[in-house]
Amino acid sequence: MEQLLDIHPEVKEALEAGKPVVALESTIISHGMPYPQNAETALAVENIIREEGAVPATIAVIGGKLKAGLSPEEIEYFGKKGTDIAKASRRDLAVLCARGEDGATTVTTTMMIAHMAGIKVFATGGIGGVHRGAETTMDISADLQELANTPVCVICAGAKAILDLALTLEYLETNGVPVIGYGTEELPAFYSRHSGLKVDYRMDTPEEIAKAFATQLSMGLKGGMLVTNPIPEEYAMDGKGIDEAIEKALREAKEQGIKGKETTPFLLAKIKDITGGDSLDSNIRLVFNNARLAARIAKAM
């Protein structure tokens, strides 16, 4: 493992000194938006974490190495290569490393590599979940299974709105993953603050969340904790409008035969086009918001 895991010196120093560290995924760079906006956004998220007094650790696979923490040059490299970089889930890691290739980490693989490095807190946009129509397609994100098995506290704005949110909550409950609402009893719906679905617990401070997760770790319970953080009111999108955009994007995906790991990037890109870019702006703002909360939780731990 030591020859595969490459922890950035700043991150390694912070971990050894007991300083707060926040993991970040790299799929948002390579597959989330075009260059140079993708690299600029990734660096802005890192700066927000630094401003809050924590150390950012963007996770990726580069040249077959599991990287916990990237340099600005490596983030720029990822931004320029974009979708030419493979999207790496759990099933892909061993092959990518064996071949010495690059991989953009999803929620699943970011959790895995963060845990290998000793990082306990991870900020993302939205997790994957149970796709609409999964009762026939069996299309369920590996993110949910990783949350059931890997002890990392994941801060997000809920599951992506293109998913079946009710079934996603059911799956998490079955696997014993606590779902926390930060300042809310309702599950956020990514672009909007409301889903009509209840979370397991409401917590109102980073300290309360940190204490709950630290207790979970001390009990030796396997699996993570999901903290759902509503998008700020001023950047939230109208629920009806975004639902109409999602339905249109889903119809187009079905007509074009889009399946598997291509589904989410296709739908998010199509929704961005339908909303005139508003959904991308909201996505960026909710990631910034999650990064701030994650840094505060990491500090409290």
Signed CA dihedral, 286, 175, 225, 188: sign only: positive
Amino acid making up residue 229 = N
pTM of the model: 0.92
pLDDT of residue 272: 73
Query: According to the model, what pLDDT value does residue 1 have?
Result: 67
Per-domain residue ranges for the chain? 1-119, 121-301
- Please classify residue 280 by burial: count the beta carbons closer than 10 Å to its beta carbon, then call 0-12 exposed, 13-18 middle and 19+ buried: buried
Give pLDDT tens digits for 193-252: 989 999 999 999 999 999 999 999 999 999 999 999 999 999 998 766 777 877 887 788
Catalytic status, residue 25: yes
Active site residue 185: no
Which CATH architecture is the domain 1-119 placed in?
3-Layer(aba) Sandwich (3.40)
- Written as six digits, the tokens of 255 are 């007509």
C-alpha 205/C-alpha 26 separation (Å) is 28
Using the CB atoms, write b or e for 87-119: b if 16+ within 10 Å: bbbbebbeebbeeebbbbbbbbbbbbbbbbbeb
Cβ proximity of 113 and 58 under 8 Å: no
Position with higher pLDDT, 190 vs 22:
22
pLDDT in tens, 48-100: 999 999 999 999 999 999 999 999 999 999 999 999 999 999 999 999 999 99
Q: What pLDDT, on a 0 to 100 scale, did the predictor assign at position 120?
A: 98
Mean pLDDT for the chain overall: 93
Angle at 214 between CA 209 and CA 219, to 5 degrees: 130
Class of 121-301 per CATH? Answer: alpha beta
Task: Report the C-alpha gap between 113 and 1 in whole angstroms.
Answer: 11
What distance in Å separates the CA atoms of residue 224 and residue 35, rounded to the nearest whole number? Answer: 32
**Among 229, 239, 234, 228, which residue's Cα sits nearest to residue 275?**
239
Check 25, 46, 76, 146 and give the catalytic one: 25
| Structure-block tokens of residue 266 | 């296709």
Residue 185 phi/psi, 5° resolution? -100, 0
How far apart, in whole angstroms, are the C-alpha atoms of residue 154 and residue 174? 18
In 198-254, beta strands by DSSP E: 201-203, 225-228
Pick the catalytic residue: 12, 120, 160, 270?
Answer: 160
**94-103, 134-143, 252-261, 273-282: range with highest mean pLDDT:** 94-103
Chain center to CA of 158: 10
How far CA 117 is from CA of 7, 9, 110, 210, in Å, comes to 7, 12, 11, 19
